[in-house]
Amino acid sequence: MTPETISSIMAEAIKVTLLVGSPMLLVGLCVGLSVSVFSAVTQIQEMTLTFVPKIVAVFLALLFSLPWIIEKLTTFTINLFSNIPLMIR
């Protein structure tokens, strides 16, 4: 196994990780921004007001994107395992 092979596997793993995590991160960012604007406009300084909507939104994003996430992770794992004989040489 060459350093180039290891680098390509690591790059692909990082790409898949970022791709899989991005829906939850983007939803959390958008909800957090909108709650912060709402909190600044109404001058309500309650910690649960910022925490609970983000948790619910991230959970819903995970729930709706879970089939896509499973497909991406399964494809990556199958490709990795199927290329093991080629990497050993």
Quote the tokens at residue 48: 């649960």
Report residue 54: phi and psi, to 5°: -65, -40
Q: 61 with 24: CB under 8 angstroms?
A: yes
Give pTM, 2 decimals: 0.80
Q: Give dist(CA 79, CA 12) in Å, integer.
A: 11
Mean pLDDT by 10 residues, the chain (89 residues): 87 96 96 91 83 94 96 95 84
Q: Give dist(CA 20, CA 12) in Å, integer.
A: 12
pLDDT for the residue numbered 60: 96
pLDDT for the residue numbered 5: 86
Report residue 21: phi and psi, to 5°: -85, -15
**Count of C-beta atoms within a 10 Å radius of residue 27:** 19
Quote the tokens at residue 77: 């794992």
